[in-house]
Amino acid sequence: MRAALGERFSAAVVRVEQHGRVVYERAFGRTRDDGPATPCFVDTRFDLASITKVFVASVALCNVAKRRLALDARLTDLIPEWRDTDHEPITLRRILAHDAGFKSGADFRTLLDRNVEQFVLAEPLAGAPGGPAVYSDLGFIALGTLLRRLAGRSLARAVEAPLCAWGATATAYSPRGPERNAIPATETDAWRGSVQGTVHDEKAHLMGGVAGHAGLFGPARDVALLGEWYLGALYRRASPLDRDLVCEAVREQAREPTRRRGLGWVLRTGDEAACGSLMSPSTFGHGGFTGTSIWVDPERDLNVVLLTNAVHHGRHDIRPIRAAVCDAAVAAVDRR
């Protein structure tokens, strides 16, 4: 982490938990490297990027447990726009497993004068639901629509309220103005200038910062808590999530050429994974484009969170850093 600081990111937090307890936590750096900055602390909030998908998936699974949704029922009651279309067979399971047939994404420049949600619901599918998996922002934007309509209130409230009730009290969409300077800056681009404290993802930005695929900001503690909800259901019977649904979520549901998919989660698919070479084959996790990741090894009851603002230094692959952190964490706990 020290070697990468100032070269691959300006700010980072590493948090490692085992058996539900913190065994390592440290902050590195400052909020930006190109101007006035404040130090990064262990409770600094980061743009979580696509880790948002797993938080949102967990809220969806909670609604399944409460019988407000079903994993394998068609969704046309809540999304009537899909009736009598190729979208009609889509189920919640297929969206969470990324094999609902959605295209991966869309060039934000083609959406500047469009309603992104309406575009996603009407955009032709790339394949039949239940076909090959394609990692899709569009599917999770549709999931956000589903949860908003189910709750009868904004998506922000539909997601933030259960997360807060489950203990993730510092994780939310759209940080307020005074909070933004304490959040590590992400990218400087020709469209928005320097992005700090507002969502980096362009599609989420066009949606007002609130979407099913990106937009949450949170600290390492809350991201680790996300992993603990699943580990707690498996080992400690202390979780807001249903154990049977947790087991289903971390089981292979679909496969891409180089990845296996659970429900919301990525499942380890070999030693080249971003979780390194030492975590067990049952490991699951997720990354975010800004430079964030969580990897959970249920065989070790181990939870490794890495939050960075890697895009602050360019759109480079930080998989070796993610893998090295996970390998170091495993080596350390195995020596205990």
Averaged pLDDT, 292-317: 97
- Clarify whether residues 267 and 138 are in a common domain: no
**Is 199 a member of any domain?**
yes
Interval 233-246: pLDDT, tens: 999 888 999 999 99
Residue whose tokens read 């394949």: 127
Last residue of a domain, one of 164, 199, 233: 164
* pLDDT at 59 > cutoff 80: yes
Last residue of a domain, one of 138, 164, 190: 164
* CA 154 to mean position of chain CA atoms: 19
Q: Domain containing 207 — which CATH number?
A: 3.40.710.10
- Clarify whether residues 235 and 103 are in a common domain: no
Reported as a pLDDT band with limits 50, 70 and 90, residue 109 is confident
- Clarify whether residues 188 and 257 are in a common domain: yes
- Clarify whether residues 217 and 321 are in a common domain: yes
Interval 161-216: pLDDT, tens: 999 999 999 999 999 988 999 999 999 988 999 999 999 999 999 999 999 999 99
Averaged pLDDT, 54-58: 98
Mean pLDDT of the chain: 96
Q: CA distances (Å), 147 to each of 102, 109, 159, 165, 285, in order? A: 18, 26, 8, 17, 23
Reported as a pLDDT band with limits 50, 70 and 90, residue 154 is very high
Range of the domain at 221: 11-51+175-334
Interval 73-86: pLDDT, tens: 999 999 999 999 99
- Clarify whether residues 85 and 223 are in a common domain: no
Helices (H), the chain: 51-65, 92-96, 116-122, 137-151, 155-165, 202-206, 220-231, 243-249, 319-334
For residue 111 the two structure tokens come to: 């959406």
* pLDDT at 271 > cutoff 90: no
State how far the Cα of 145 lies from the Cα of 143, in Å rounded to an integer.
5
- Clarify whether residues 210 and 104 are in a common domain: no
**Is 1 a member of any domain?**
no
Predicted local distance difference test score (pLDDT) of residue 310:
98
State how far the Cα of 160 lies from the Cα of 116, in Å rounded to an integer.
21
Reported as a pLDDT band with limits 50, 70 and 90, residue 278 is very high
What H or E segment, with its residue span, contains residue 10? none
- Clarify whether residues 154 and 79 are in a common domain: yes
| Beta partners for residue 296, in sequence order | 284, 303
- Clarify whether residues 118 and 219 are in a common domain: no
Q: What DSSP state is assigned to residue 184?
A: P
**Is 192 a member of any domain?**
yes
Reported as a pLDDT band with limits 50, 70 and 90, residue 257 is confident
* pLDDT at 272 > cutoff 80: no
Interval 111-128: pLDDT, tens: 999 999 999 999 999 999
**Is 170 a member of any domain?**
no
Reported as a pLDDT band with limits 50, 70 and 90, residue 258 is confident
- Clarify whether residues 40 and 158 are in a common domain: no
Predicted local distance difference test score (pLDDT) of residue 270:
79
Question: What percentage of the chain exceeds 90 in pLDDT?
Answer: 93
- Clarify whether residues 263 and 143 are in a common domain: no
Averaged pLDDT, 54-63: 98
Predicted local distance difference test score (pLDDT) of residue 214:
98
Predicted local distance difference test score (pLDDT) of residue 227:
98
- Clarify whether residues 35 and 77 are in a common domain: no
**Is 169 a member of any domain?**
no
- Clarify whether residues 66 and 116 are in a common domain: yes
Last residue of a domain, one of 164, 187, 209: 164
State how far the Cα of 85 lies from the Cα of 69, in Å rounded to an integer.
21
Count up the domains in the chain and report the number. 2
pTM of structure: 0.97
**Is 86 a member of any domain?**
yes
Q: What 3-state class would DSSP assign to 43?
A: coil
- Per 3-state DSSP, what percentage of the chain is helix, strand, and coil (rounded to 5)? 35, 15, 50
For the beta sheet containing 266-267, the strands, ordered from the edge strand earlier in sequence to the opposite edge, are: 21-29, 11-18, 302-308, 292-297, 284-288, 266-267, 260-261, 254-255
Averaged pLDDT, 115-144: 97
